[in-house]
Amino acid sequence: MKLEALLERYEEVYGRILRLSGNTEPELMAPEPQRRLVMVMDSLGLSKLPEGRLSLLAIGYTNAYIENNIERGVSFYLLAFAPQALTNFDENWQPLPATWSNVVDRACWAYPELSDLLRRVQGALPQISLADLEAELGAPLSLIDAAGPSDQRYISLERLQALRSQVASADLPGLVRRFLYHVLRLSELFSGDSYTRVDAVPCTKFNVERVKEYVMPNLKLAWLGGSEKVFERIEL
């Protein structure tokens, strides 16, 4: 099914752009094994999404990032689905506006082993500056993220669990924020008010509008319907 047809048929549609190596449909909405939540756009955001490369720039990807992925054999796909079309849609799957409150609530549900820690630092998270964290770490979070767990500054789920009892209470919010950056992909684009940050999008010359974000579980694509979902390659 094409996106236009899905948007015309259903009032409530959500979607996201996926990175994929190879041509087979992925199992999950996001491939990272520790990532239990994803961000999606709503019908309005999908309807305003430009075509081709501009769609990637509109959600915050840089040309350098796009080219780096292409060189590594990565392709980009658009996924969209309508909850009304799914007979097995669980209420816990419902996308919620990506405010700090909703993200923490969903994270407590998705990572019950972290719920006490997340609640403990919840109030401090919106005040944390990623630039300040990078100054403390001595490197951009994006470079640490690219290196992955081999970089000791990368905060995976296991590393967060191991370090949470070893750091001072004042350092816990920053540790959790780094986990959210690396594992849940809450990057510079995340504002916490349910809209992407325009000032962090590198393509303002294309008159990019703020895109409303929603948080939901990282579901299997097989659960999102067969003929009633969109999964198509973005031609660059």
Residue ranges of the domains in the chain? Answer: 3-95+191-233, 99-182
Spell out where the chain has E strands.
14-21, 37-41, 74-81, 96-97, 213-217, 229-233
The angle at the Cα of 70, spanning 67 to 72, to the nearest 5 degrees, equals 115
**Inter-residue contact 107 to 181 (CB < 8 Å):** no
Whether residue 204 is predicted with pLDDT greater than 80 in this model: the reply is no
Lowest-confidence pick of 18-22, 101-105, 191-195, 229-233: 18-22
Indicate whether this model's pTM tops 0.85.
yes
Contact at 8 Å (CB) between 95 and 214?
yes
Query: What is the structure's pLDDT at 199?
Result: 58
Question: Over the stretch 80-102, which tens digit does the pLDDT of each residue have?
Answer: 999 988 878 888 899 999 999 99
- Evaluate the CA torsion angle 42, 121, 199, 31 in order and state its sign: negative
What's the whole-number mean pLDDT along residues 7-24?
A: 90
Q: Which two tokens stand for residue 33?
A: 């094994």
| Range of weakest confidence among 4-13, 162-171, 194-203 | 194-203
Q: For the segment 43-93, what is each residue's pLDDT rounded down to a tens digit?
A: 999 998 888 998 888 887 878 888 888 988 899 999 999 998 887 888 889
